[in-house]
Amino acid sequence: MAEVKKGQEMLDASVVPGKWIITLHPDADVATVASHIVKVREIHTRNVGSRDVTEQESGGIERQYGFGSFKGYAGSFDAATIEELKGLPEVLRIEEDTIMTTFDFVTQSNTENWGLAAISSRTKDATDYIYDSSAGQGNYNYAVDTGVRITHQEFEGTRAVWGYNAVNDKNTDNAGHGTHVAGIMAGKTYGVAKKAIVIAVKIFEGNSGQMSVVLDGFTWAAQDIVSKNRTATAVINMSLGGAASATWDAAITAAWAQGVLAVVAAGNENRDASLVSPARSPEVICVGNLQRDDSRYGGASGSNYGPAVDIFAPGTGIVSSYRTSDDAIQVLSGTSMASPHVAGLVSYLRGLEGPMSAEKVKARVLGLATPGRVGDAMGSANLVAYNGAGRNGTVKRVGILR
């Protein structure tokens, strides 16, 4: 019998009525998967034709997932169809689809770019960003987010491209979050890896959307990285999250097994990050929000904490590019802003030291980090992201911006 996880069992989950995500056993081969899909369509058609179902339950299979050991699909199904799917031997897990959100929460007027300086210093109150001129060149940062304004001057006309739109045909960032995140990773002024390429993967129209859509975008990014032999030069950033999900655990594990690294935000609920996906997955680098005084951001929108959090990075009052024009900037806060500092650092270190596997670069980021610097770490790893301050001798020094 398949494991079934319903919304009431998922802490703080916002369930999408009639929408389900089904995961198949990892050892299901191509023929088994194909046969199963045909069977599901037959079951659903029969049930829809013989019962009164809601519009939300009538769609059937809408998205399919498949990379490595992660195989499954999502769609709109009635209760009778779900009941039959539970008994199919190839079905591993059934979860109700839920809403995921971005992790930014406040806009400020202070445009002091302190975050870059903070990751190139072992101590707080640094005023310069010190970095090697390699600056992440030859590396790729996949922004699974709200889209990216690729024409923004921070990306210099060529360093941001559209990869995939899982939501609609509007290849624009209508929320601003994705453009801000991309600028932190790779903007010429505000970015950690100033020469890296940004790949836009749109999964939200606005600041929230369905888990099934986010999984679609993540699947595309993982497949693109593997198919283009970029596992040693590419990283996925996901400044978003939702309820703890075994389906997300399986997807992250499958990507990791194929050599794909994801950096993710810990979340802004001031609670244990083990309650949040994909933050809780052990293969990711889960990033908490550091304030300028080296304390964890607390309060109602505080950074999540606990053993799932691997590292902290600047996330409070961070200036970066924005969606409203090609030179617009905005100041945002949250673990959404902390995560791309680390994703950018992954590309920076690979640009400086050469291509590295997911496992090796994750260990490098954590090994290079400054220990014991975070106030109120609350059981998280007490580490702050650090870039080594340009060890190859071709160092650049940029004063923080006002």
The interaxial angle of helices 335-353 and 358-368, nearest 10 deg, is 110
Catalytic residue among 78, 145, 173, 310: 145
Is the dihedral angle over the CA atoms 267, 269, 270, 273 positive or is it negative? negative
Q: Are strands 285-290 and 311-314 parallel, antiparallel or unpaired?
A: parallel
Please state, in angstroms and rounded to a whole number, the distance separating the CA atoms of residues 220 and 226: 10
**12 in active site:** no
Q: Cα–Cα distance between 23 and 5 in angstroms, integer?
A: 12
Question: Please, which residues bridge with residue 285 across strands?
Answer: 263
Distance of CA 264 to the CA centre of its chain: 5
Residue burial 366-402, b: 16+ Cβ < 10 Å; e: rest: beebbeebbeebbebbbbbbbbbbbeeeeeeeeebee
Question: Does the active-site annotation cover 294?
Answer: no
CA distances to 52, 262, 356 from 287, in Å: 46, 11, 20
Residue from 177, 180, 212, 339 carrying the catalytic annotation = 177
**From CA 260, how far away is CA 345, in angstroms rounded?**
16
CA pair distance 224, 234, nearest whole angstrom: 10
Strand runs labelled E in 195-317: 197-202, 208-210, 234-238, 240-243, 262-265, 276-277, 285-290, 311-314
- In contact, 261 and 346? CB cutoff 8 Å: yes
Is the distance from CB of 24 to CB of 91 less than 8 angstroms? Answer: yes
CB atoms within 10 A of CB 31: 8
Task: Tell me which of 320, 336, 339, 347 is the catalytic residue.
Answer: 336
Q: What is the DSSP string of 311-333?
A: EEEE-SSEEEE-SSSTT-EEEEE
- The amino acid occupying position 125 is D
Q: How many CB atoms are located within 10 Å of the residue 87 CB?
A: 9
Q: Known catalytic residue: 78? A: no
Closest C-alpha among 395, 397, 291 to residue 337: 291
What H or E segment, with its residue span, contains residue 102? strand 91-102
Q: Which residues are catalytic?
A: 145, 177, 336
